[in-house]
Amino acid sequence: MAVAGSAWVPGEPGAPSAVLARRLDAIGTGAYVVDPQGRIIAVNALAERLLDRSAAALLGRDAHDLLHRDSGGRHMPRAQCRMRQAFHAGRPAQAETDYFARGDGSLLPISWLIAPYEAGADETATLVLFHAVDRAVKTGTRADPSAQPLTELERLALLAEATTRLTSTLDAEETLRRLVTLVVPRLAEWAVIDLITERDEVWRAVVVHGEGETLVHHDDLQGPMPPLPEDSPMPLSRALRGVASAVAAPETYQREPDSGIALEQRRLFEATGMHSAAIAPIRSAREVLGALTLGRAGQSQAFTPADLPLIEDIARRAGIALDNARLYQRQRKVAETMQNHLLPQMPRVPGLEMTVRYLPAPNASQVGGDWYDAFRLSDDATALAIGDVVGHDLEAAAGMAQVRNMLRAYAWSQQEPPSRIVERLDEAIMHITDVTMATVILSRVEETADGHWQLSWTNAGHPPPLLISHDGLARYLTDGHGILLGTGLGRRRPDATVLLPPGSTLVLYTDGLIEEPGHTLDEGLDRLRRHAAALAHRPLASFTDQLLRRVRPADNDDDVALLTLRTPARPSTGQAAPTTRP
């Protein structure tokens, strides 16, 4: 099949339809299609001219080997080719500066965009769009962002990139940073973001100028803004009220200011040298969050009303992303407050040091099922507990609070070994809570008649405690181990007892400290043991902080609770050092 202005492989399976062929020719930029093996199966006439190669010289050839070069004209190594990486991943991608080899042996500086392409009912391919860029790009200087208006394809690619980048973070500051890098210098030299705070105040959060490849933040132009007027017709005021977008110029604000915001806008134009600005509301589905101002200076072409729809679309996507980030941060704050109230203060026990740390799951809502506890018992011993209720949400936190409070009540009221108390807890949670599965270690620490310290414990499916001597000998306390809570098997649970050597350190922890994707549990336990032994000489607070920093996996997606205890260097009943809380 042949279509005017394009060349296609005759009879090739998955060859595009005539309709798609005409659309490809109508794009107005160089275009070719490659099959799953990277061979060119279609090319339009503009690509032939740009590459100085006929369709016959292109069709059936490996596009990477034939065309792609580095800045020195050498063949681009496949491992370094961003286009090929995206091709194999089956995802859209683009680059502002790259190089193709022309038929006459010269280098063609290009900007390209690739995207998956449906070549037929059962055939997939990849569409490559490219156009020649100014030689200034090749030498590292930026072209005028408005010298060449964006094509429709480039506009769609920019919006797709905005959607992907802005919605892939739940951090408000990161959302603003990504917004700026999207529009400067691609659309303008200046970007200004004004936000409406939760108290309905206006805050100029960002003023950024693109200087070559560098984004320069002008902190002196940022900060609080005057109140938002209710009926001002000025462009920024209307945008902040969500009324409309507008194009503005310095003369727009040269008239007598009708509000403090209008006066600040006059100062902004004077300080930045912008001769043209496009201003659009940043809004979510619920409310107006602020306004985005893009400014052009120097020899850049002025904005026109035709530029506003694209800027409005970008601002709208930013508004959705910013709203999601704010909602998430509010949830994190509520959950963090809840977690701080759920986790207890450590008791003061003469002769003992205790330190605790809690780190929430990085991608969760700042609250989870990991917990610790320490409290004095009615017989003057000290109870230590650590556990994990399945989940990383408010439901898990509520279940954790139920388990912890029931354990406290049983341990205080029942003068029984840890094993029997945990048996009672296991019976109760199956009937009076929604907890489906949990682990726990319950232990008693008490001073013996000769001034030593003794630990008694039972373990319900939890990672074993780690005991480190003053000299750095570390061993796991694997005795006293039983099944986790919530199985309904009703088995008797064992107890274990050990004397804690003088100056020794006991470590109770949850599995988020040792579990790492792609690694065995034994590897995590060994990592914890080695670092704990190496840190044994540190003061307890430093020991705990360094242990958490060194051992917690970098890609950890679980919360971590950590409780450490240290006995006196000599058998005595001296006063313990002050305890700390995370």
What's the pLDDT tens digit per position in 405-418?
A: 899 999 999 889 99
pLDDT at residue number 33 = 87
- Per residue in 529-546, pLDDT (tens digit) is 999 999 999 999 999 999
Closest by CA to 492, choosing from 411, 444, 403, 426, is 426
> What backbone torsions phi and psi does residue 69 show, to the nearest 5 degrees?
-135, 160
Report the C-alpha gap between 318 and 177 in whole angstroms.
11
Tokens for 389, please give them. 């209720």
Instruction: Please report the pLDDT score of residue 97 as a whole number.
Output: 80
Average pLDDT score over the chain: 84
Lowest mean pLDDT among 29-33, 171-175, 230-234: 29-33
Pick 343 or 551 by higher pLDDT: 551
Residue 72's pLDDT band (cuts 50, 70, 90) = confident
**What amino acid occupies position 197?**
T
Closest CA to 213 of 140, 154, 111, 139: 140
pLDDT tens digits, 390-399: 765 667 667 7
Return d(Cα 107, Cα 441) in angstroms, integer.
68
Mean pLDDT of all residues in 134-138: 44
CA distance 538 to 534: 9
Query: CA-CA distance, 480 to 80, in Å (whole number)?
Result: 55
The segment with the largest mean pLDDT, out of 127-131, 147-151, 172-176, 190-194, is 190-194
pLDDT at site 117: 79
Beta strands in 135-201 (DSSP E): 190-196
β-partners of residue 208 are 191, 217
Bridge partners, residue 98, by sequence: 110
pLDDT band at 135 (very low <50, low <70, confident <90, very high): very low
Instruction: Report, as an integer, the average pLDDT of 366-381.
Output: 84
C-alpha 115: how far from its chain's center? Answer: 25
The stretch 457-485 carries a mean pLDDT of 96
Confidence of residue 365 (pLDDT cuts 50, 70, 90): very low
pLDDT of 462: 96
pLDDT in tens, 555-576: 777 889 999 999 998 876 544 4
Alpha-carbon span 213 to 191, nearest angstrom: 15
Give the torsion sign (CA, 43, 49, 50, 52): positive
Mean pLDDT is highest, among 35-39, 142-146, 210-214, for 35-39
Identity (one letter) of the amino acid at 382?
T
pLDDT-derived band at 136, boundaries 50, 70, 90: very low
Q: What Å distances lie between residue 124 and 13, 38, 55, 157, 379, CA to CA?
A: 10, 11, 21, 20, 74
Distances in Å between the alpha carbon of 148 and those of 145, 300, 311, 315? 7, 10, 16, 22
Q: Is 362 helix (H, G, I), strand (E, B) or coil?
A: coil
Asked if residue 404 has pLDDT above 70, the reply is yes
Please give the residue that has the higher pLDDT: either 38 or 430.
38
Between CA 106 and CA 99 the distance in angstroms is 10
How many helices and strands, by DSSP H and E, does the chain display? 15, 25
Q: For residue 6, what pLDDT band results from cuts at 50, 70 and 90?
A: very low
Phi and psi (nearest 5°) for 24?
A: -60, -40
pLDDT at 398: 73
Q: Which pair of structure tokens corresponds to residue 561?
A: 């609770």
Measured CA to CA, the distance from residue 368 to residue 95 in angstroms comes to: 41
Going by C-alpha positions, the residue among 472, 542, 551, 462 that lies closest to residue 505 is: 472
Band (pLDDT 50/70/90 cuts) for residue 41 is confident
Q: What is the mean pLDDT of residues 290-319?
A: 92
Strands in 124-132's sheet, in edge-to-edge order, are 6-8, 40-44, 30-34, 124-132, 107-118, 93-101, 68-69
70 or 142: which leads in pLDDT: 70
Tell me the pairing of strands 453-460 and 481-482: parallel
- Which region among 99-113, 144-158, 320-334, 365-379 has the lowest average model confidence (pLDDT)? 144-158
Percent of the chain with pLDDT over 70: 85
Residue 482 contacts by C-beta under 8 Å, 6 or more apart in sequence? 419, 422, 458, 459, 460, 461, 491, 493, 494
- The mean pLDDT value for 80-94 works out to 84
Prior bond of 309 cis (ω within 30°): no
Please say whether the dihedral angle defined by the alpha carbons of residues 212, 217, 221 and 227, taken in this order, is positive or negative: positive
| Signed CA dihedral, 249, 252, 255, 257: sign only | negative
Scanning 244-284, the segments in alpha helix (DSSP H) are 260-272
Q: Which residue has the higher pLDDT, 360 or 280?
A: 280
**Residue among 132, 193, 127 nearest 156 (CA):** 127
Confidence of residue 123 (pLDDT cuts 50, 70, 90): low
Q: What percent of the chain has pLDDT over 90?
A: 48
Quote the pLDDT of residue 394.
63
Angle between helices 172-183 and 308-342 (to 10 degrees): 160
Place of tokens 């701080």: 340
